[in-house]
Amino acid sequence: MLAAEHVGWFLEHAFLIPIVPAIAFALILFFGKRMPMKGSEIGIASMVVSLVLAIGTTYQWIHRTETSVEPVIRKVVWWQAGGVQFSFGQHIDGLAVVMLLLVAFISTLVQIYSLEYLRGDRRYTHFFAALTLFSAGMLMMVLAENMVQLILGWEIMGLCSFMLIGHWWEEEANSRAALKAFWTVRVGDIGLMVGTGVIFFGANAYAQAHGSNGFSIAGINEWAMKDTGASHTLLLWGCVALFIACIGKSGQFPLHTWLPDAMAGPTPVSSLLHSSTMVVAGVFLVARLYPLFHTGLDINVAGQHFNLIAVIGGITIVIAAALAFVQTDIKKVLAYSTVSQLGYMMMGLGVGAWTPAVFHIFTHAFFKCCLFLCAGSVAHSGSHHSFEMKQDMGGLWRRMPITAACWILSTAALCGVPFFSGFFSKDEIIDNAHNNGYTVFWIIGLVGAFMTTAYMTRATYLTFFGTARGAAAGEHHDEAHDMAHDPAHDPARVPAMAMAHADPADHDGADAHDAHNSHAGPHESPALITVPLMILAFFAVVAGYLNAAPFHIEKFTEWFASEKREPFPELAHATFKWINTLPSIVLVAAGFAVSLFICRGLYSATAFALKGLTKRSAAMRAGYLFLVNKYYLDDLYENVIARGVAYPISAAAYWVNQNVIDRTVNEVGVGARKTGLWVYRNIDQRVVDGAVNGSGAAAQGAGSALRPIQSGKVNQYGALLFGAAAIGALVLVIVNT
C-alpha cells in the first residue's frame, strides 16, 4: 500500500465497498439455500454495509474538498513484469464518490424490492447471488486505480448481465436475449482491450518517469494533457478503440440493439441495469478518461463543432426516442428511453459539458430506476404479470395510486419539467451545447426533449388513464395467454410451468403468492415494492437541487466536479438564464399537449382522423414498419454481417475438417492398417512365429533322437555304462602317455 497522508478512515478504506458484496456473492452461493431467507438476507446486508461505507466516504470527501480536491489514490502491487507493475487499488475523486454512493443506494433498494417481486422463484438464491456480484462489479470498476482493474469490474458486469438477463433461460427468447447482450457487448469490449493496449504503450514511458505506469488512470490522464510529444494519431485511434467499448456497453448507436432485448430479465434486473450499473459504465469510462478523450478527439476545440462522441450521442438521442413511440411493452418504452438518455450523457461529454453530463447520470438513476420498478409493480399487481400496455393496462391510477403517483413524478423528471431533477441536468447539457458552439447538437437536444415528453405521455396514458383493458379490467387469462405476452414475464406469471421443471422444495409459498396476485384483481402492490418506489420518486424530485443553477446552488459542482483540479481541460460553461430554457420548456409542454391529444383520439371509441392512418397511407405504413423492425439493424447484424462472417468461416472450417483433419486421420488409419499387415506377415509370421516353430521342431528332433536311448532295458544300460567306461579309460591312457 502506498504511503500517503491520513485522509479519513472511510476514504482510506473505500476499497472495501466492492469487496463486501463480492464476499457476499460467495457466501450466498455456498450457504444461501440453508439460510431462512434463502440467501437474500446476505445480499441485502452486504449492500447496506456498502451503502454505509459509501455514505462515510462521501461525507469525508465533501469535507476534504474544503482544503483539497486531489484524488485519494491507494494501491497494492500484486505482480510485476518487465518493469510494469500490476496493482489493485482505489482512485477516489468526486466522480468515483458520487458513483459509489449512487450504485450502493440503488442496489440496496432494488434488492429490497426483489424480496417481494421474486418471491417463490425457482432460482431465488442464484438471483440474489448474481445481483450482488453485479453490483460488486460496477463498484469495482468505479473504484479502479488502473485500467486492468477497471476491465475486471467491466467484465464481471458483462458476465452477470448474461446470467440475469437469461434468468428464465427455459424460454428460448430469454436465452437468445442473454446471448445477444453478451456477444454484442463483447464486440465492443474488443475495443476496450485494443484501446488499453494502444494507450499503455503510448503513456508508459511518461508515466514511469513520473512514478506510475501506462495502466494507471491518473498517469494516462496526466500524459494526455501534459506530454506535448504524444502522437496525436496514437491518441486518436486509442480513443476511438476505447469509445467503441463505450458504445457497446452504454447502448449507443449502432450497438444499442441488445439493450431493449435485455428486458427479458426480471424487472429488478432491468431497473438496476438501466439506471446505475452496466449501461452507464461506458459513459463513466469517457468521464473518467476525459482528459484523454478531450485531447484525442479534439473536444471543445475552437473551430471544431463535431466530434465522434457528440455525433454518436446525438444520433442515439433521436433514433432511440423514435423507436419508443411504436412499443406496446412498457418496459421496452423505458429501455429505449434509457438509450436516448444515455445519448444525452454522451452528447454532453462530447460538447464539453462534463459536469452536466455526470450530473445527468446522477439524476437519471433515480427516476429511471423508479420508472422500471413502477412498471414491475403494475405487472405484479395490476396487469396479471403482463407488460402489454394496449392489451392489459389502462385506468390503473385509481387501483394503484401510489405506483401511479411515483410513475408520474419520475416521468416529469425524465421529461425535464421545470423544478424536477431532470430539468436541472438535461437542460444544462442542451444549454452548454449551444453555449459552446455545437448548434446542431443543441437542436438535437431540443428535439429529443419534445420526443421524450411525447412518448412518455403516451406510455402514461396507456398505463394509468383511459379505459381499462384486459387484465386491468379484471379479466383473467389462462397460461397460454400469459405466454403469448412478452417473454420477459415475471416468475409468478406462469407458476405451473415453472413448477413443472423444478424441485417443489424450491418454491415455498409460490402457489399462495400466485393465487394472491392472480385472483385479487388490480390492486396496489405490497410495501416491499411501494416503499422503494416512494423513496426513489422523492429523489427524482429533489436530487436536481444539488446543482440547481436557477437558484445559484452548485453543490454537485463544488463537491464532485473533476474540473477543479489538474490535469483537466478547461471547459467553457454557460451562465444560466431563464430565457435560454424557454425553447426546451415550450417543447416539453408541446410534447405533452400533442401526445395527449393524439392518445385520447387514438385510444378511445370515438372517431379520429389519425386512426388507421398506417393502413391508408403507404408512406406512413412504410415508416411505421421501419420503426417496428428497429431500422432493420437486427436483420443487418444477424442475416448479413453475422451470416456473412459466420457462414464462410463455418464452410471453411467444414472443408478443413473434411479435407485436412478427416483426410489426415483416414490416411493415418490406412497407413497404420498397411503397416500392421506387413508386420503381421513378415515379422509376426516369418520371424517371431518362425523362430518359435523352429525351436519347437529342433526340440522335437532332439527328443526323437534321444528317445531310443530311453528304452528301459537294464542290459542295454549296462552295456552303455561299460562302453562309456572303456572310452573314458582309453582317453585317460592317451592323455597320460
Per residue in 192-201, pLDDT tens?
A: 999 999 999 9
Task: Count how many domains the chain has.
Answer: 1
Flag whether pLDDT at 285 surpasses 90: yes
Question: Mind listing the pLDDT tens digit for each residue in 25-56?
Answer: 999 999 999 999 999 999 999 999 999 999 99
For range 90-95, the mean pLDDT: 94
Question: Mind listing the pLDDT tens digit for each residue in 333-364?
Answer: 999 999 999 999 999 999 999 999 999 999 99
What pLDDT is attached to residue 495?
Answer: 37
Question: Three cell numbers at 530?
Answer: 411501494
Domain that holds residue 665: 633-695+713-736
Tell me if 603 is assigned to some domain.
no
Tell me if 265 is assigned to some domain.
no
Tell me if 303 is assigned to some domain.
no
What pLDDT is attached to residue 732?
Answer: 81
Distance CA 737, CA 258 (A): 118
Higher pLDDT, 452 or 652: 452
Tell me if 150 is assigned to some domain.
no
What pLDDT is attached to residue 516?
Answer: 41
Cα distances (Å, whole numbers) of residue 347 to 424, 505, 541: 16, 50, 24
Tell me if 683 is assigned to some domain.
yes
Question: Mind listing the pLDDT tens digit for each residue in 449-493?
Answer: 999 999 999 999 999 998 999 888 887 654 434 443 343 444 434
Strands 84-92 and 72-81 come out as antiparallel
What pLDDT is attached to residue 506?
Answer: 35
Tell me if 641 is assigned to some domain.
yes
Tell me if 26 is assigned to some domain.
no
Higher pLDDT, 390 or 488: 390
Any residues with CB less than 8 A from the CB of 56 and at least 6 apart, and which? Answer: 9, 10
Question: Mind listing the pLDDT tens digit for each residue in 505-540?
Answer: 333 333 334 434 444 689 999 999 999 999 999 999
Any residues with CB less than 8 A from the CB of 593 and at least 6 apart, and which? Answer: none
Question: Three cell numbers at 504?
Answer: 417443489
In 3D space, the residue among 127, 91, 119 whose CA is nearest the CA of residue 18 turns out to be 91
Mean pLDDT score of the chain: 87
**Chain CA centroid to CA 420, Å:** 29
Q: At what angle do helices 527-542 and 354-381 cross, to 10 degrees?
A: 150
Distance CA 444, CA 426 (A): 12
Flag whether pLDDT at 380 surpasses 80: yes
What does pTM read for this prediction? 0.85
For range 168-172, the mean pLDDT: 89
Question: Mind listing the pLDDT tens digit for each residue in 115-140?
Answer: 999 999 999 999 999 999 999 999 99
In 3D space, the residue among 118, 104, 38 whose CA is nearest the CA of residue 529 turns out to be 118
Phi–psi pair at 326, nearest 5 degrees: -105, 10
Flag whether pLDDT at 239 surpasses 60: yes
What pLDDT is attached to residue 477?
Answer: 58
Higher pLDDT, 491 or 671: 671
**Chain CA centroid to CA 107, Å:** 15
Flag whether pLDDT at 503 surpasses 50: no
Tell me if 74 is assigned to some domain.
no
